[in-house]
Amino acid sequence: MGSLIGHGSYRRKPKDERQAYSMRIKRWWCKACHRSLSVLPDFVLALRHYLVRVIQCVVAERFERGRPWGEVKAQCACQGTPALRTMQRWCKAFLEHALLWLGVVQETLAQQDSRSAWLDPQGEAPKADNLAGALLAASLHLLAWAKTQWPQLAGYGWNDRLRFLWLWGWSQGLGRLV
């Protein structure tokens, strides 16, 4: 108790497809572990400049809908923002991390919600076209289970699945997803 003390703040400028927003992020010093930390709002990812919803749009268009890059860019970018190369980096990183994250999601569902349709051998999992698409689909099942555990997730839905997955995975020690 009482091991966190205010340690200043810094300015962060998360972007969407149209503009950058300016916000102050409070920094804290932990007297127990002697580290500085920040608590980001849940619509901002650590180490990323764009809002979660922009990144999710790109990842979903590419991996769930199988859209080519031209269509992804047309759907998710406005006046060249984010750049195509940025969107490609997000998708590459998502695909690289998908196997590890999917394994942990499936393990969690097996332990916590063994009746999940995702775990049914005749269900959705075998129908997934790629690891990234499978992870996005599994994240909905994980979110459905999580909503039974944490009332504050009641408002989370389809458009919040990547935000939830990121926050959940970060708390599991999985590191970056995108």
pLDDT (tens digit, 9 = 90+) per residue, 46-84? 778 898 899 999 999 999 999 999 999 999 998 888 999
The domain segmentation of the chain, as residue ranges, is 52-171
Spatial contact of 53 and 38, defined as CB atoms under 8 Å apart: no
| Stated pTM of the model | 0.84
- In this predicted structure, the answer to whether residue 44 has a pLDDT above a threshold of 90 is no
First to last CA, the chain: 33
Selection from 47, 59, 25, 44 nearest residue 167 by Cα: 44
For residue 3, what are the CA distances in angstroms to 7, 33, 34, 100, 107? 12, 9, 10, 33, 33
Region of residue 79 (left: phi > 0; alpha: psi -120 to 50; beta: else): left
User: Which pLDDT value is given to residue 86?
Assistant: 95
Selection from 137, 126, 116, 124 nearest residue 64 by Cα: 137
pLDDT (tens digit, 9 = 90+) per residue, 118-163? 888 777 776 777 899 999 999 999 999 999 999 999 999 988 998 8
Q: Which two tokens stand for residue 86?
A: 């940025």
